[in-house]
A and B are shown apart, each in its own frame.
Chain A
Amino acid sequence: GAGVSQSPRYKVAKRGQDVALRCDPISGHVSLFWYQQALGQGPEFLTYFQNEAQLDKSGLPSDRFFAERPEGSVSTLKIQRTQQEDSAVYLCASSPHRGPADTQYFGPGTRLTVL
């Protein structure tokens, strides 16, 4: 079956622009996670959804970052007024289980470059 997909795969933004990154999880997966991965580093947690409820947004680095999953399926990560330090790969993962404790299925990521 289809895995997790993300779009766009690459995004170049000028500093100050708003961007929206989309994640299509595996159908029926309850949990959805967003991570930020800087070059040469491991992924860092941003936020977690269980169905449409955002249960944890403790990793969002500032109030410029906003995520939603209104119908409990597709999720969008929005970054307002992008800054150069936002340049990273943004990974989405989904899981059929509640919580982070089991296997997560990752998408290919969106590479964001802010000029």
Chain B
Amino acid sequence: SQQGEEDPQALSIQEGENATMNCSYKTSINNLQWYRQNSGRGLVHLILIRSNEREKHSGRLRVTLDTSKKSSSLLITASRAADTASYFCATDPSGGNKLVFGAGTILRVKS
């Protein structure tokens, strides 16, 4: 069972455009992370936002967290073809020992 749900399931944009992906979850969390997965590869950590934070930036990435709505968004600005990948949000439910991943958003950036 997966706690997070990403939206949209798939997104296709032109190079240079911004991409926004959303994630919703069900239980209280310590923090929320976003990971990227290129086809046939393992996951790469992008950014972590703690439950007491509302917004965080890292390069072209901007993450927001709304704990009252149990949701997060990942914005990739000025997208590049190399950003083509699947993106997953992951939460660690309070008191647990595991990360719970959503089903992911498949992003395709066309050059």
Judging by beta carbons under 8 Å apart, are A107 and B101 in contact?
A: no
Given A106-B42, A107-B42, verify A101-B104 contact (CB < 8 Å): no
- Interface membership of B43, Cβ < 8 A: yes
Are B41 and A43 in touch, CB under 8 angstroms?
A: no
Q: A42-B4, A103-B33, A109-B42 are in contact. List 9 more A-B contacts (CB 8 A).
A: A33-B98, A41-B2, A43-B99, A48-B97, A56-B97, A59-B98, A103-B45, A106-B35, A109-B41
- Which B residues lie within 8 Å of A4 (CB)? 42
A-B contact count (CB 8 A): 64
Interface SS majority for chain B: strand
Residue interface mask B60-92, A partner, CB < 8 A = 1: 000000000000000000000000000010101
Q: Any chain B CB within 8 A of the CB of A99?
A: yes
Alpha-carbon distance A105/B96, docked complex (angstroms): 19
Residues of B within 8 A of A (CB): 2, 4, 30-31, 33, 35, 41-45, 48, 88, 90, 92, 96-104
Q: Is the CB of A106 within 8 A of B48?
A: no
Known contacts A103-B33, A103-B45, A104-B45; A43 and B101 CB within 8 A of each other: yes
- Interface residues of chain A, those whose CB is within 8 Å of chain B, are 4, 33, 35, 40-45, 48, 55-56, 58-59, 91, 93, 99-109
Could you name 12 residue pairs across A and B whose Cβ atoms are closer than 8 Å?
A40-B103, A42-B101, A42-B103, A43-B99, A43-B101, A44-B2, A44-B101, A59-B98, A100-B99, A101-B92, A104-B45, A107-B42
